[in-house]
Chains A and B, each alone.
Chain A
C-alpha cells in the first residue's frame, strides 16, 4: 500500500473528435476513470486520469498506439470544512514543495484533491505528519 498513486497522462491532439476517440479506446480497454483533468494548449492537450488499474491500463493503451505516461501524484482527502484546501497547500508550501497542478474529485460527502508535486515522497511525509489523510493506491 502506498500513498503515491500512478496517474495516466495521455497526449491528445486538440482536434474535433480526438477526446471522443481516446474515451472510446479507454472504454474498449475496460479502463474505469475515477477522476480526470484536461490541460490544454492551442493544438494539443494532456489528459490526466486516475484509473482503477493503472499498470494494466497503461499497457492496453500503449498497445492501441496511444501516447501515455505514468505520473506519480498524491490524493489528499479534504474535510468538508472551510480552509481544508488551504491547510494542505500551506503544509506543502512551508516544506518548499512545488505544486505543478492539481484537480479535485468529489463523491457524496468525500472530496479528494489530486496533486502533482515535484517531490511526491517528501510531500507524503509532511502531509501525513500533519495528520491529513491521503488516498492509498489500494482504494482506487
Chain B
C-alpha cells in the first residue's frame, strides 16, 4: 500500500533532480538569511553557486551537535518566532538541551513521512494504533499520534507507563497496532504473561512500530515468534524532526523518503563519503525543514545505505538497521543519555568527588543504569540517615537532569578505577 505513490515510486533520476532543486533553494536561502550558515559556508569556501547537482552536497561543511548547543536556544532558527508552532526538546551533551522548532510546514512533512511509513506497513482506517511513546518534549508520542491520525487510524494516546492498563485497553479497544520502544514491548509481553493474557490469542494486535533505541534481528525474531505480530523498525532522531521512516513489508532496510531527507554515510574518522553497502556514520540533510534546517548533520548513528531496488516498488534509498553510535551516547529506555550529562550533574554536587563509573545492564526487558560515585572524605557522615539522604539527593539530581531514574551507589575515595589514558567510565553490559 502506498500513501504517496508518485513520490514513493518516482524514478531515481527524477528523485535526484527533485533533491537537487530542494537543496539548491535551501542552501541559497540559508546563505543569504542565516548568520550561522553564512559564516560556516564562507569559512568552508563554498557558495550556493557551487552547488550544481545533488552530489555537490559533499562541498558543504558538516554540522555537529556542538553547533546546536552553541546556538541554543533559537539562534539557528531560520524563521521568525511567529512562524514557529511547536517545540520539542531532547538531551544535549552537557548543560543545555537540544531545542527543535517546527513551522506548520515542518509538522506537515513530518506527518506526511509517517503517513507513508505507516501506510507501507499496512496501517489504515480500520486500525487502532496504541502509541506508547512518551507524549511531551520527546518527539515519539506526538509524532506517531499525528501520523496515525493522518492515515485515518484510531489513535489511542496511552503514552508510557501503567503497563497493566495498557494491556487492558489493548484488549477492550481491539488495538491492532502499537508504537513503542522494543524494550518496552518486551516488557509488555512479560506483563501480559503475568496477567494471564496471550497477546497472540487474546488481542487483535498484528503490527508493531518499534524504535528509538537499537534492537537486533534476534530481538525481532523473539517478539514475532512469541506474539505472532509483524514488527517494523522505525527511525528518526529529535534533531532531524522525530520518528519518520520505517521498513516496508519486505523488511530489507528502512526506506528514507528521498524528497524529505538526503542521506550520506561517511567514515567517522576520515569524514570520507562511503559507497552504499559500507558501514559508517549517517549524515543527514533535511531538504524541507523550515524552522530549524539541518545540512550534513553528523547524527552519529552507525549504518549503511542500501540502493538496490526494493521489491515493494519504492525507489527511495534505504538504511540498514542502526548498529550503534559513533559517539558515546547511550540510549536508556528510549531516552538519549550522554555520559557528559552525568558528569556535569555530578560535578554540581559538592559532596561528590572526581571519580564515577556508569554501569548499564538489561534486567529482563528494561535498561538499568547504576552510577557509582566516590564521595569526598569530608562528606562522610557517621549517621546512616545522612548518607542515605546524600545518595537520594544525587539520584534525584540525576533524574531531574536525565529524565530517567538511575541507581546511585556511594563509594569511598580511591575505590573506583583511575585511568591513565582515555577514561573508560561506561560499562554497557546489555546484550541486545
Could you give, for residues 186-225 of chain B, a 1 whenever the CB lies within 8 Å of some chain A CB and a 0 otherwise? 0000000000000000000000000000000000000000
Within 8 Å of chain A (Cβ to Cβ): is B64?
Answer: no
- Stretch of A38-46, A76-84, A122-130 on the interface side: A38-46
Within 8 Å of chain B (Cβ to Cβ): is A71?
Answer: yes
Within 8 Å of chain B (Cβ to Cβ): is A100?
Answer: yes
Residues from chain A with a CB closer than 8 A to the CB of B344 are none
Q: How far is the CB of B381 from chain A (nearest CB, A)?
A: 8
Within 8 Å of chain A (Cβ to Cβ): is B417?
Answer: no
* Inter-chain residue pair count (beta carbon < 8 A): 43
Pick from B372, B377, B382, B414: contact of A46, CB under 8 Å: B382
Residues from chain A with a CB closer than 8 A to the CB of B391 are 41
Pick from B382, B384, B409, B414: contact of A69, CB under 8 Å: B382
Within 8 Å of chain B (Cβ to Cβ): is A67?
Answer: yes
Chain B interface, number of residues (Cβ within 8 angstroms): 17
Within 8 Å of chain B (Cβ to Cβ): is A36?
Answer: no
Instruction: Check B415–A13 contact: CB distance below 8 A.
Output: yes
Instruction: Give the complex CA separation of A13 and B387 in angstroms.
Output: 13
Pick from A9, A12, A43, A44: contact of B382, CB under 8 Å: A9
Q: How far is the CB of A58 from chain B (nearest CB, A)?
A: 12
Which residues of chain A in 55-84 are interfacial with respect to chain B, using CB atoms and an 8 Å cutoff?
65-67, 69, 71
Instruction: Check B409–A11 contact: CB distance below 8 A.
Output: no
Instruction: Check A46–B387 contact: CB distance below 8 A.
Output: yes
Instruction: Check B380–A67 contact: CB distance below 8 A.
Output: yes
Pick from B372, B382, B413: contact of A71, CB under 8 Å: B382
Instruction: Check B382–A13 contact: CB distance below 8 A.
Output: no
Residues from chain A with a CB closer than 8 A to the CB of B382 are 7, 9, 46, 48, 69, 71, 116
Closest to B376 in A: A67
Which residues of chain B in 382-399 are interfacial with respect to chain A, using CB atoms and an 8 Å cutoff?
382-384, 387-388, 391
Top 4 A-B residue pairs of the complex, sorted by shortest distance between their CB atoms: A9-B382, A43-B409, A71-B382, A11-B412
15 cross-chain CB contacts under 8 A: A9-B382, A11-B380, A12-B412, A13-B411, A13-B412, A41-B384, A41-B391, A43-B409, A44-B387, A44-B411, A67-B412, A69-B380, A71-B382, A101-B384, A116-B382
Chain B residues engaging chain A, CB cutoff 8 angstroms:
372, 377, 380-384, 387-388, 391, 409-415
